Amino acid sequence: MSLELKGIEKKIGEETHIYSTDLKFEKNTINVLLGSTLAGKTTLMQIMAGLDKPTKGEIWFNDQNVTGVKVQKRNVSMVYQQFINYPNFTVKQNIASPLKITGIDNQEIDQRVSKVADLLKLTPMLDKKPNELSGGQQQRTALARALVKDSDLILLDEPLANLDFKLREELREELPKLFKDRDCIVVYATTEPSDALLIGGYTATLLEGKVIQHGKTLEVYNKPNNLDSAKVFSDPPMNIANINKKGEICSLLADNVTWKTNLNLRDGNYKVGIRPHNITTYKEGKNSIEISGKVLISELSGSESMIHFTNGDLNWVSLSEGIHQKDVGEETKLFMNSDEFLYFDNNDRLVGNV
Amino acid sequence: MKKFKWLVPTIYIIFLMLPIYWLLNMSFKTTTEIINTYTLWPQEFTLDNYKKIFTDSTWYTGYLNSIYYVVLNTFISVAAALPAAYAFSRYKFLGDKHLFFWLLTNRMAPPAVFALPFFQFYSSVNLFDTHVAVALSHCLFNIPLAVWILEGFMSSVPKELDETAYVDGYSFWKFFFKIFIPTITAGIGITMFFCFMFSWVELLLAKTLTAVAAKPIAATMTRTASTSGYELGLLAAAGSLTIVPGAIVIYFVRNYIAKGFALGRV
C-alpha cells in the first residue's frame, strides 16, 4: 500500500497554491506535513482525500491512478482543526455514521463504536450531543469517527491547533499510539516542529506551496537540505548569521566570536544556522562558545526561558532550560553549542553539520 | 428613584397594548354601543360578532383562503430558497455577489408596482382568483428574503462539515437532507416565520389577484359597510382573530428568533 503524488499542481485562478509536487507515502507510516499557515498543507490534503482536484498531475494509490475518483469512493478519513461533528447526532451516532452508510449490520457497528469510544475515553459521553462536550471531547469524537472505519488513508489537518495547551499535550502523546497497529497511511499536518518530532515517522517540510524536503523526521531535523527547510523545522525561529571560514577557524562577520571547526570546506563565507535551544545561559557540549549580547526581551514559558538579545547587528533568540531572569538592556553572556551548528553555503544549501 | 422602576415598562406596555385592547373591547360590543357611547369595557357583552364569523361562510372562508395561500407560499419560498442559499453560501460563481445583492433590491420596489403586470399576467394564464396566484406573487418578496436569511445560517456552518460528510461516505443529497438541514433547523424556522408573516399581512397583491374564490380575510375586512349598515363590532372581531395566527407562530419560534438576531441576518 502506498500513496503517491506525481507532479501535483494546484492553481486557483492565476494564483499557484501548490507547485509541482512529488511525494510518496508508504504503508503503515505516519507522515507529517510541516509548514506555516498558507504553506499549502490543507490544499495538499484535500487533493489527497479527493475533495479537490489537482490542476495538473496524478495521484496513485496502490499502483492505481485515483486522480478523478470521488471522495466517497475512496476509503479515507479526515479530522480538521475545527471540531467538526454532526450537531444533530449524538456522539454515538456520530462515530457510527461512516459505518452506517456502508450498510454494516448493527451488531458489528455497536461493537466497533464501543471499542473506539473506549480507546478515546468517550464511553460516558456516548448519548450526549457534540455541543454539550468540551473542545477536547469534541475533537476526540471527530478522531473516533475517523478511526472507526478501516481507512486506507487518515488525514489529520492540525487536529490539535484549537485545543488548549494541556489537552494538546495529552492528546499529542496519545495520537501515535492510536495509529500504531493500523494498516493505513497517516498524514498529519501541523505548524509546530515539536509535533513532528514527537510523532516521529516521516516529515515533509513545506514552504509557500513547495515541498522542500521529505524524509525520516529526525533526518530532516538534523540534516535539513537547505536553509528554508531548517527554518520551517525550527521554533522559535532559527538564528542565522554570516560567518567566514579560514583554515580551522570560523568567525562571525558581525562580531569577533570565533571557534574551531574540522569541517572539510573551502575557505570563504558561509551561513550558520543555530537553533535557539543551542544557545543557552549555561555551557552545553564539549565545544561551547561564548557570545555576549544585550538583552532585548526576556520571557518565561513554562520551565524554559527565552532570551532575545542583540549581537553585532543581529537579533538572536536563545532558549534555556530552567528559569533565568534577565533585565532588559543588561549585557549578558551566553553559550552556543557549536556541535549542533548547521552550515549553509551562499545558495542556502546545507554543506555541513558536525 | 428605585421605587418607580416599574413605571417606564408599565407605560410602555400600556401604550403597546392599548390598540389591541380597544380592538378586543370593540369586538365584544354591539355596533350600536360602539357608535353611540364611549365605554372602557363592553356594557352589553356579546359574542354575536364571533358567532357570525364562525358561521357565515363569506367570513370564515376568508381566513381559510388566507391560511391556504400563506402556507403554500411559505413552502414554495423555503423550498426554492434552500438550494439557492446553499449555492450562495458554498460556491463561487460569476456575478454571485451582484446576484445576491440584486435579490435584495427586489424588496425595494413597492408591491403596488407589480400589481398591474401580475393582474394582467395571471389573468391571461387563467390563474386569476386562485390561491396559487397569490402564493406565487408573494414569492416576489419572500424568496429573496428567505435566501438572505438562510444564506446567513448556512454560512455559519463550516464547509468542513460538508467535506467530513463526503469523506465519511455521504452522497450530496444524503448529506443535505440528513445532516445539513437538521443542522440549520433554527434558520429554517425563522425563515418560515418571516415568510408567513409577510405573506399574512400583505394586502395589495392578495386583493388585486383575487375576486371571490380565493379572497383573503384582510380584503373581507376592508369592506366596512354592508347591506345592514356599519358592522364595526364584527370588523373588530375579525381583526382580533386575524392577530391570532401570527401570535401562535411567534410563540413557537420566539427562541429561534433570538438566535437569528444574534446572527445578524433577521
For the ranges A113-117, A197-201, B258-262, the maximum mean pLDDT occurs at: A113-117
Q: How confident is the model at residue A176 (pLDDT cuts 50, 70, 90)?
A: confident
**CATH code, B55-263:** 1.10.3720.10
Distances (CA, A) of A248 to A56, A245, A265, B217, B251: 49, 7, 9, 101, 86
Asked if residue A234 is part of any domain, the answer here is no
ipTM: 0.83
Asked if residue A233 is part of any domain, the answer here is no
Final residue of a structural domain among A166, A199, A226:
A226
Instruction: For residues A142 and A47, state if they share a domain.
Output: yes
Q: Is A303 in the B-facing interface, judged by CB distances under 8 Å?
A: no
Assess whether pLDDT exceeds 70 at residue A35.
Answer: yes
Nearest Cα residue to A271 out of A289, A286, A252, A287: A252
Question: pLDDT tens for residues B24-75?
Answer: 998 998 888 888 888 888 888 888 889 988 888 888 888 899 999 999 999 9
Instruction: For residues A182 and A221, state if they share a domain.
Output: yes
Contact check, Cβ <8 Å, B163/A78: yes
pLDDT at A248: 83
Asked if residue A122 is part of any domain, the answer here is yes
pLDDT at B266: 54
Q: To the nearest whole number, what is the mean pLDDT of chain A?
A: 88
Assess whether pLDDT exceeds 70 at residue B226.
Answer: no
Final residue of a structural domain among A201, A226, A251:
A226
pLDDT at B83: 95
Q: Residue A32's domain is classified under what CATH number?
A: 3.40.50.300
- Number of C-beta neighbours around residue A55 at 10 A: 14
pLDDT at B263: 64
Q: Which residues of B touch A (CB under 8 A)?
A: 158, 160-161, 163-171, 174, 179, 182-183, 185
pLDDT at A183: 85
pLDDT at A250: 87
Chain A residues with CB-CB distance to B170 below 8 A? 72, 97, 101
pLDDT at B33: 83
Chain A residues with CB-CB distance to B166 below 8 A? 51, 71-72
Instruction: For residues A8 and A149, state if they share a domain.
Output: yes
pTM of the predicted model as reported, rounded to 2 decimal places: 0.81
Residues B120-137, mean pLDDT to the nearest whole number: 92
Rounded to the nearest angstrom, the gap between the alpha carbon of residue A66 and the centroid of all alpha carbons in its chain is: 27
Asked if residue A231 is part of any domain, the answer here is no
Lowest mean pLDDT segment, chosen from A112-121, A268-277, B225-234: B225-234
Asked if residue A168 is part of any domain, the answer here is yes
Instruction: For residues A96 and A190, state if they share a domain.
Output: yes
Instruction: For residues A51 and A156, state if they share a domain.
Output: yes
Instruction: For residues A134 and A267, state if they share a domain.
Output: no
Question: pLDDT tens for residues A189-217?
Answer: 999 888 888 888 899 999 998 899 999 99
Instruction: For residues A22 and A137, state if they share a domain.
Output: yes
Final residue of a structural domain among A197, A226, A255:
A226
Q: How confident is the model at residue A113 (pLDDT cuts 50, 70, 90)?
A: very high
Starting at the earlier edge strand, list the strands of the sheet with A15-26. A15-26, A2-12, A56-61, A64-65
pLDDT at B265: 61
Asked if residue A180 is part of any domain, the answer here is yes
List the domain boundaries for chain B: 1-46, 55-263
Q: Residue A277's domain is classified under what CATH number?
A: 2.40.50.140
pLDDT at B110: 82
Assess whether pLDDT exceeds 90 at residue B217.
Answer: no
pLDDT at B264: 59
Instruction: For residues A207 and A276, state if they share a domain.
Output: no
Question: pLDDT tens for residues B152-205?
Answer: 899 999 999 999 999 999 999 999 999 999 999 888 988 998 899 889 988 888
Q: To the nearest whole number, what is the mean pLDDT of chain B?
A: 87
Q: How confident is the model at residue B15 (pLDDT cuts 50, 70, 90)?
A: very high
Question: pLDDT tens for residues A264-278?
Answer: 888 888 888 999 988
Picking from B92, B154, B168 by the largest number of A CB atoms within 10 A of its own CB, the best residue to mutate is B168
| Domain range enclosing A329 | 239-353
Instruction: For residues A63 and A117, state if they share a domain.
Output: yes
Asked if residue A217 is part of any domain, the answer here is yes
Domain count, chain A: 2
Assess whether pLDDT exceeds 60 at residue A354.
Answer: no
Asked if residue A343 is part of any domain, the answer here is yes
